[in-house]
């Protein structure tokens, strides 16, 4: 395959999804019949995109298997075993997703092999590792986007926990005050996660009563109350005071490396991630939670979050700095007098138009492909170069080369 192809993508319907956001993007009937949570663009075996190729719709996964070097480029094909290394998404969260973390490469390989030895079926509810890959990811806001990302600095955790639990968790808080380091934070978090049900219920109830009184003072307390309304007596309601609470403005992004406990709470965003299914959950979910496995992968270093904005590499493209070998996210804005020319040295790229209309013309092709809001295309590595003209905003997923 050596030509640009229009994509047809799958929508994942999860309970936390939106009835409006993805439908509006795609120009479909609003509201949708079911909550639409994610639009997947890529070659994930669960739901690969379809490419319009030689007058028919063909699975991008199958096309890559058939033409790996043409589509991926030799370097990417060799490095990632003839597989597309990323999954590109639109994520629409009407209600909060589960608190979760992802393993690094070594942890993923060891965890996958361990569960294989234990003969846990790949689709079992208690399976943590679906593959042997890590899963760094990047989220970029299309609307105001609320999220949790990594543990707060320990002094902030202690301050918030004292306010919401003034008469509870004294031994645990005292231990963290005496050991304000990663081991102390690990012990504190493990203590919360393993409380006896009766004590947990009493502590959570107390915390929410105090959070309600303070909810007008800080978003963290507002979110504790919101989470409690969704997941009553779930220890995950503490997450807004344990983790960094972030509201990304449209166009802002953040990177989530392996081992960082996080959750997406509300909003619509572009998500780009390594092509893995490995998730270890820590709350706000009816799904399987393996505390022991979660503790093994978490980073317990309190930190502040770096908010990413696009770094302009030309008049039309802004790149979000990537810390992953699998992907780079960028935004392309074309208008009158400002066109875009694709790089000569590149791998496979997937482009999604989120606003306006533009023509994409590949080298050697006679007619441009017209894309408008909600349309996406795949540009194989074998397309020597391409240009975009019009009046549009597009997000681009690519592979570092």
At residue 364 the predicted structure's pLDDT band, cuts being 50, 70 and 90, is: confident
Is residue 266's pLDDT more than 90?
yes
In whole angstroms, give the CA distance from residue 361 to residue 31.
Answer: 34
Cβ neighbours, 10 Å, residue 155: 11
The residue-averaged pLDDT of 243-268 equals 96
Check if the beta carbon of residue 145 is closer than 8 Å to that of residue 266.
yes
CATH of residue 318: 2.60.120.10
Residues 229 and 259 grouped into a single domain: no
Residues 92 and 192 grouped into a single domain: no
* Among 182, 215, 241, residue at a domain's last position: 241
**Domain presence at residue 210:** yes
**Domain presence at residue 206:** yes
Please give the pLDDT value at position 288.
87
**Domain presence at residue 103:** yes
Please give the pLDDT value at position 279.
87
In whole angstroms, give the CA distance from residue 64 to residue 115.
Answer: 29
**Domain presence at residue 294:** no
State pLDDT tens for residues 137-193. 999 999 999 999 999 999 999 999 999 999 899 999 999 999 999 999 999 999 999
Please give the pLDDT value at position 133.
83
**Domain presence at residue 304:** no
Please give the pLDDT value at position 278.
85
> Which are the contacts of 64, defined by CB distance < 8 A and separation ≥ 6?
43, 71, 72, 82, 83, 84
Kindly report the backbone phi and psi dihedral angles of residue 172, in degrees, each rounded to the nearest multiple of 5, phi listed first.
-70, -40
Q: Of 127, 152, 173, 281, which residue is the catalytic one?
A: 281
Check if the beta carbon of residue 236 is closer than 8 Å to that of residue 106.
no
**Domain presence at residue 296:** no
Residues 252 and 184 grouped into a single domain: no
CA 345 to chain centre: 27
Residues 266 and 140 grouped into a single domain: yes
Cis ω before 31 (30° cut-off from 0): yes
Residues 40 and 111 grouped into a single domain: yes
Examine the residue annotation and report whether 281 is marked as an active-site residue of this protein. yes
Considering only residues 340 and 127, tell me which one the structure prediction assigns the higher pLDDT: 340
Please give the pLDDT value at position 256.
92
Considering only residues 35 and 287, tell me which one the structure prediction assigns the higher pLDDT: 35
Q: What pairing do the DSSP bridges indicate for beta strands 376-379 and 137-141?
A: unpaired
At residue 390 the predicted structure's pLDDT band, cuts being 50, 70 and 90, is: very high
DSSP 211-228: HHHHTTT-HHHHHHHHHH
Block residue for tokens 């309600």:
212
> Which are the contacts of 228, defined by CB distance < 8 A and separation ≥ 6?
204, 208, 211, 234, 237
Both structure tokens of 373: 């809001």
- Total residues found in the chain within this entry: 401
Reference 69, options 125, 129, 18, 2; nearest CA is 2
Residues 114 and 30 grouped into a single domain: yes
The residue-averaged pLDDT of 37-55 equals 94
State pLDDT tens for residues 342-352. 999 999 999 99
CA 321 to chain centre: 15
Both structure tokens of 237: 């309601």
Please give the pLDDT value at position 131.
85
The domain in which residue 170 lies consists of 156-241
Residues 276 and 377 grouped into a single domain: no
At residue 322 the predicted structure's pLDDT band, cuts being 50, 70 and 90, is: confident
Residues 197 and 260 grouped into a single domain: no
Residues 180 and 44 grouped into a single domain: no
**Domain presence at residue 3:** no
Is residue 99's pLDDT more than 90?
yes
In whole angstroms, give the CA distance from residue 113 to residue 102.
Answer: 16
Both structure tokens of 75: 């370097």
Longest dimension (CA), the chain: 73
Please give the pLDDT value at position 36.
97
What average pLDDT does the structure give for the chain? 95
Reference 64, options 90, 42, 89; nearest CA is 42
Number of domains the chain contains: 3
H-type helices in 15-88, by residue range?
Answer: 21-26, 60-66, 68-72, 74-79
Residues 378 and 326 grouped into a single domain: yes
Kindly report the backbone phi and psi dihedral angles of residue 346, in degrees, each rounded to the nearest multiple of 5, phi listed first.
-160, 170
State pLDDT tens for residues 217-236. 899 999 999 999 999 999 99
Neighbouring-strand partners of residue 332: 317, 394
> Which are the contacts of 141, defined by CB distance < 8 A and separation ≥ 6?
248, 249, 250, 251, 252, 253, 267, 268, 269
In whole angstroms, give the CA distance from residue 12 to residue 294.
Answer: 25
Residues 125 and 252 grouped into a single domain: yes
State pLDDT tens for residues 64-89. 999 999 999 999 999 999 999 999 99
Check if the beta carbon of residue 272 is closer than 8 Å to that of residue 89.
yes
Residues 121 and 254 grouped into a single domain: yes
**Domain presence at residue 375:** yes
């Amino acid at each position: 395959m050596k030509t640009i192809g229009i994509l047809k993508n799958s929508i994942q319907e999860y309970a936390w999804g939106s009835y409006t956001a993805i439908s509006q993007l795609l120009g479909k009937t609003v509201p949708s019949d079911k909550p639409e949570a994610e639009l997947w663009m890529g070659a994930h075996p669960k739901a690969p995109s379809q490419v319009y190729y030689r007058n028919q719709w063909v699975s991008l996964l199958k096309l890559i298997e058939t033409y790996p070097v043409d589509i991926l480029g030799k370097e990417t094909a060799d490095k990632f075993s003839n597989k597309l290394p990323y999954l590109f998404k639109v994520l629409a969260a009407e209600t909060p997703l589960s608190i979760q973390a992802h393993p690094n490469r070594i942890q993923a390989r060891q965890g996958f092999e361990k569960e294989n030895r234990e003969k846990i079926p790949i689709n079992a509810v208690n399976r943590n590792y679906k593959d042997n890959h890590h899963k760094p990811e990047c989220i970029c806001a299309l609307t105001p986007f609320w999220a949790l990302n990594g543990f707060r600095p320990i002094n902030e955790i202690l301050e918030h926990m004292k306010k919401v639990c003034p008469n509870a968790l004294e031994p645990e808080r005292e231990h963290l005050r005496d050991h304000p380091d990663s081991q102390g934070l690990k012990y504190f978090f493990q203590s919360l996660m393993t409380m006896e049900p009766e004590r947990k219920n009493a502590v959570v109830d107390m915390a929410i009563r105090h959070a309600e009184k303070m909810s007008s003072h800080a978003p963290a307390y507002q979110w504790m109350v919101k989470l409690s309304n969704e997941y009553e007596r779930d220890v995950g309601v503490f997450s807004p005071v344990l983790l960094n609470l972030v509201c990304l403005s449209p166009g802002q992004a953040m990177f989530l490396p392996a081992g960082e406990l996080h959750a997406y709470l509300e909003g619509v965003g572009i998500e780009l991630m390594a092509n893995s299914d490995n998730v270890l959950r820590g709350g706000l979910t009816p799904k399987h939670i393996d505390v022991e496995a979660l503790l093994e992968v978490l980073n317990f270093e309190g930190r502040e979050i770096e908010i990413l904005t696009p770094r302009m590499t030309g008049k039309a493209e802004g790149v979000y700095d990537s810390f992953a070998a699998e992907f780079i996210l960028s935004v392309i804005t074309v208008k009158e007098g400002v066109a875009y020319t694709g790089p000569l040295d590149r791998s496979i790229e997937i482009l999604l138009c989120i606003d306006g209309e533009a023509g994409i013309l590949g080298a050697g092709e006679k007619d441009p492909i017209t894309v408008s809001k909600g349309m996406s295309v795949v540009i194989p590595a074998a397309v020597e170069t391409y240009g975009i003209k019009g009046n549009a905003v597009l997000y681009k997923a690519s592979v570092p080369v």
